[in-house]
Amino acid sequence: MKRPELPEPVTLTEAIVPIASLVVLVSLSYFLFGDAGASGPNQVGLTVAAMIAVFIGWRRGHSLASLGEAAAASVSTGIGAIFILFAVGALIGTWALSGTLVGMVYYGLKILSPNYFYVTAAAICGVVSMSIGSSWTVVGTIGIGLMGIAQGMGLNEAIAAGAIISGAYIGDKSSPLSDSANLAAAASGVELYRHLREVFVTSAVAVIIAFAFYFLVGRPGDFDAGAEIDAMRGAFHISLWLFAPLLLVIVLAVFKMPPFTAIFLGALAGGVLAVCVAPERVIAFASASASASASRTAALPDWLLLVKGVWLALASGYKATTGNVTLDVLVTRGGMESMLNTIWLIISALGFGGVVEKCGVLERLIAPVIEKARSAGALVASLVAAVIATNIVTADQYIAVVLPARMFKTAFARRGFAPVVLSRAVGDSATPTGALIPWNSCGAYMAATLGVATLSYAPYAVFCFASPLLTVAMAYAGIRMPRIASESIVKPESAAEQSGPLHPDD
């Protein structure tokens, strides 16, 4: 086949090929490698799928240079997420070194009960996320401590992670401070607080469903944390001062400090706290490092060893040697280095997403869906499916907000629906579902931060999948589907553009 001189739209078959390739390759990766697929095999699958998309785009007239630029531009949109991941890795390392993580687990074991831990964890994360509007900040701070508590109680880590993520996404979807909520309103042409009033309806029902589930799966029975508490008290200096870095991050987030800045300052605060409350631990950690010879390390003054210990915790994480195996497993973690596999995954996914967007794959797949959506429920269900597909293909929550909203905006207007119907459906589906996709920047972040594979916690992140299901159910039931005045309805320019009359669903 002769290549066209100018880029041409892809055919439906050509649009399906790279998506099908991605699904097959990633599925095969999980079949062969399980959760370890995120440590390299998934990235290889995404790269191969991207090359298949490049070939199709080149065959349709796109130059290799333009496709490469599209991939690079897409990856550049993830730079912010990459730096946040580095900051979280650094924070985990210094909080482990200082004892902040242990302090959170210690007091959590004394106060909380396994019988209601899951619902309490979701509620705590929900309240904080509503206050600061960021699921990433909540999971990267409070979520880490709650996971440690769950491990100390011997609870199911996948359910605990699902509860933490569900709570964190309450605010990310419903808080006026959330960037994704603001973006969903802006992309749909809706005033923010009107958008939030509509989203509140589905969020409230999803919260009730999620919290009821977490209450029911709480493990009944007594739990004796005496041994764990004694081990922590013996190895760390437990006091409320250990919460100072956490308080700093929350205050900075409330004042809308950028997430990277707030989290990295929290990491530095953890290092300073470690030097103040446990200098002997920092010196021992620095002295035990294999990064320099024993003679050279021994020659260093104490103040340089303190700098070295904090520096190592920021870069490579803390390696505990308390002698208690359970406590060492809990505290040995973190460092920027620990996030490299996740960053590799995000770069591979965003590169693939940039190529398929440049080729017009999503538009080609979504256009027939819009045309065949004959009812209000079908239209909203099509939008939700398009949003989830965009989250899967582009691996970016923000693209999943903007692109489908732009593509469906005219269709909703022609059907006579108020823009808030569009914004609610986009907000209910784009924001929470990104955390359920392993290679999406959100899913990769949650898995790396909490230490639980995305596909393991996804069935328990009830709020995240209940929200899009509820928005579709409301559309089919005709609940809260406001319309615009008839004279404001956008008229199709030709019969070919019409998607047909709107059929009632009830």
The pLDDT tens digits of the residues spanning 358-404 come to 998 888 888 888 888 889 999 999 999 999 988 888 888 888 888 88
70 Cβ partners below 8 Å, 6+ apart? Answer: 354, 355, 357, 358
Whole-angstrom distance, CA of residue 296 vs CA of residue 244: 34
Q: Could you tell me the pTM of the whole model?
A: 0.76
Residue pointed to by tokens 């294999």: 290
* pLDDT digits (tens), the chain, 506 positions: 577 778 899 999 999 999 899 889 988 988 888 777 778 898 899 899 999 999 999 999 999 999 999 999 988 888 887 888 899 889 989 999 999 988 888 888 788 788 889 999 999 999 888 878 889 888 988 898 899 889 888 899 999 999 999 999 999 999 887 888 888 898 888 888 899 999 999 999 999 999 999 999 986 655 666 777 888 888 888 899 999 998 998 888 888 788 889 889 999 999 999 999 999 999 999 988 755 555 566 678 889 999 999 999 999 999 988 888 878 887 888 899 988 988 898 888 889 888 988 998 888 888 888 888 889 999 999 999 999 988 888 888 888 888 888 888 888 988 899 999 999 999 999 999 999 999 888 998 999 899 999 999 999 999 999 999 999 999 999 998 998 865 445 454 433 343 343 443 43
Q: What angle do CA 278, 280, 286 make, to 5 degrees?
A: 110
**Buried b or exposed e, range 298-316, using 16+ CB within 10 angstroms:** eebeeeebbbbbbbbbbbb
- Rounded (10°) CA dihedral 256, 164, 192, 426: 130
Per-residue pLDDT at 52: 95
Whole-angstrom distance, CA of residue 450 vs CA of residue 21: 29
Residue pointed to by tokens 């009960």: 113
Look up residue 3 and give its DSSP letter: P
- For every residue of 372-432, DSSP letters joined together read H--BHHHHHHHHHHHHHHHHHHH--HHHHHHHHHHHHHHHHHHTTB-HHHHHHHHHHHHHH
Per-residue pLDDT at 114: 81
Instruction: Say if CB 315 and CB 264 are below 8 A apart.
Output: no
Q: CA-CA distances (angstroms) from residue 306 to 97, 156, 272, 299? A: 11, 37, 10, 13
Rounded to 10°, the helix 12-33/376-394 angle is: 60
Whole-angstrom distance, CA of residue 403 vs CA of residue 387: 8
Instruction: Say if CB 338 and CB 317 are below 8 A apart.
Output: yes
Secondary structure (3-state) at 497: helix
Whole-angstrom distance, CA of residue 203 vs CA of residue 462: 11
Look up residue 478 and give its DSSP letter: T
